Amino acid sequence: MGIEETLKALEEIGFGEVYITEGAVGRKKVEVKDKKRLLEEHFASFKDCVKCPLHRSRSQVVFSDGSPESPVVFVGEAPGEEEDAQGKPFVGRAGRYLNQKISEVMGMKREEVYITNVCKCRPPENRKPTPQEIRACFPYLRKEIEIVKPKVICCLGSTAGEGILGKTMSVTKVRGKVFPYPYDPKIKVFLTYHPAYILRNPKAEGEFVEDLKKLKELIG
77 near ligand URA (CB under 6 A): yes
Q: How far is the CB of 28 from ligand URA (least distance, A)?
A: 40
- Assess 129 for contact with ligand URA (CB under 6 A): no
Strand partners, 65: 115
Are 126 and 80 a contacting pair, CB within 8 Å? yes
Count CA within 13 A, CB hemisphere, residue 185.
Answer: 0
DSSP state of 42: H
The least distance separating ligand URA from the CB of residue 117, rounded to whole angstroms, comes to: 5
- Least Cα distance to 139 among 116, 163, 114, 167 occurs for 163
- Considering only 35, 64, 67, 83, the residue that binds ligand URA (CB under 6 A) is 83
Closest residue to bound ligand URA by CB: 76
For residue 155, the surrounding DSSP H or E stretch is strand 152-156
Assess 66 for contact with ligand URA (CB under 6 A): no
Contact by Cβ (8 Å): 76, 162? no
Q: How far is the CB of 128 from ligand URA (least distance, A)?
A: 10
Task: Identify the residue among 71, 76, 150, 163 touching ligand URA (CB under 6 A).
Answer: 76
- 89 binding ligand URA? (CB under 6 A): yes
C-alpha triplet 128, 47, 144: angle, nearest 5°: 75
Residues 160-179 close enough to bind ligand URA by CB under 6 A: none
Residues in touch with ligand URA (CB under 6 A): 76-80, 83, 89-90, 92, 94-95, 117, 196
